[in-house]
Amino acid sequence: MNFPNILRIVILLASLSPLAAQAVVIPLTADTNVALPNAGAAQAINIRPATKALLAFDLSTLPVGITSSDIAKATLVFYVKTVPVSGKIQASPVTQAWNETTVTAAPSQGAAAASSAIISRGNTYFALDVTNLVLDWVDIPANNQGLVLEPDSSTPAASITLDSKEAIQTSHPAYIEIALKGPAGAVGAKGDKGDKGDTGAPGLAGANGLTTSVNGVTQIAGAITLKTTHIGLGNVDNTSDANKPVSTATQNALAGKANLASPTFTGVPVAPTATAGTNTNQLATTAFASNAAGIHAIGESYGGGKVFYVYDGGRHGLIAATTDQSTSIPWYNGTYRVTGTTGDGVGAGAMNTAMIVATQISDTLAGNFAAKVCADYSVTVDGVTYGDWYLPSKFELNLMYQNIGPGAAAPLTNAGGFAAALYWGSSEYDGSNAWYQYFVSGAQNNNNKRYAFYVRAARAF
């Protein structure tokens, strides 16, 4: 695409029709994807589960005096080169300055402001409505730090490659097209008075007059006197309540009820479960007995979260937090190092977390990382504060997925409320990589510790 020619054509059309709505093309000034080393000179921009694209635009091409109230719509137009994995992408505002030639880590960003349709084919232009982003930039120019493109949360595995502005042989740089509102038209002339309408349809017939006879009983002096036999109630017994007869069916039903004094039950009777700690003559249900004995089951809300593994007859097990402790946090604290946390299995995550925090805490004093947010987490339920949380091991992370995550059988399928995303575990692969799990397919793999994934804390009981 010859981008400068498009800009000249749009400006020319705007100058030829000053009273109509105009379209202005906002040129791209910087584009890259976050990578180490820096990828600012690359001819392709990669959007991956752990790789974000950064785009910046120059709003100075807008006509002088334009405000957000003059803008009808703003559309981001980009050229998709290849689609290794189809899916949606979302656009969010960048909230700190960045440089195309030096950026190697994702700058801070705001909430997602726009989402595309499914992208499934390459060598094609796609458009994304970014009106709200551009309105904010026009009103507050300092907020224009560009935007970030990444897989939409509904399709986190999407993998898409765009042409960058450095791809001069194909010349498909992204741009924003802004449609400006035209001036209001003149008020039209008042129309002629309409013709008189047709006569309406006749109304419904009126109600019938008063009844003069019921079941053969004729009105006498304005009154109709009916007996029980006239209306099919000839067999009604008008004796006192104590002497009224009871049908055989009702008598049989009453005979099957237990007496209030010393009742005897059959079958599987159900009773309300008493509150924990109750010490009265109230009947104890099996649920009350299990709670009193400290027996718990997978999927039960207990100990500040949801039980996802039990052993020793349900007296011990593992609990997952009810929410994610982060939706985007790296495994490391800014420095690659071997932490020695290769432990795996039930309970291994607690030792792994302690070793990770002790090893990495001094790398970046103000930093934060996956194991630390889990260790810092605490929650208070029914007056009890639970603060012994940790980042689960690879094995424990899979138990979460299989027992209360998307891999669980009904009715516990995703009872833990996990996102369709990548979750870090505490088991280390080597100095640069650690294990994670994809909470859609259940696949486990290792990846670079600097990538920002979800985390969900666990604790033992």
pLDDT in tens, 271-285: 676 665 566 766 656
In the three-class reduction of DSSP (H, G, I as helix; E, B as strand; rest coil), residue 328 is classed as strand
Q: What percent helix, strand, coil does the chain show, rounded to 5?
A: 20, 25, 55
User: pLDDT grade, residue 2 (50/70/90)?
Assistant: very low
39-59 average pLDDT score = 91
> What is the per-residue pLDDT for 7?
44
pLDDT tens digits for range 180-202:
987 766 776 887 887 887 887 88
From residue 115, how far is each of 77, 131, 179 by CA, in Å? 13, 12, 20
Helices (H), 367-436: 370-376, 394-404
pLDDT tens digits for range 99-154:
999 999 999 999 999 999 999 999 999 999 999 999 999 999 999 999 999 999 99
Distance of CA 245 to the CA centre of its chain: 63
Q: How crowded is residue 132: how many other Cβ atoms within 10 Å of its Cβ?
A: 14
> What is the per-residue pLDDT for 20?
46
pTM tops 0.75? no
> What is the per-residue pLDDT for 167?
82
Residues 6+ apart with CB under 8 A from 21: 72, 179, 180, 181, 182
169-190 average pLDDT score = 81
pLDDT at 208 over 70: no
In the three-class reduction of DSSP (H, G, I as helix; E, B as strand; rest coil), residue 313 is classed as helix
From residue 281, how far is each of 52, 264, 278 by CA, in Å? 64, 17, 9
C-alpha neighbours within 13 Å on the C-beta side of residue 48: 13
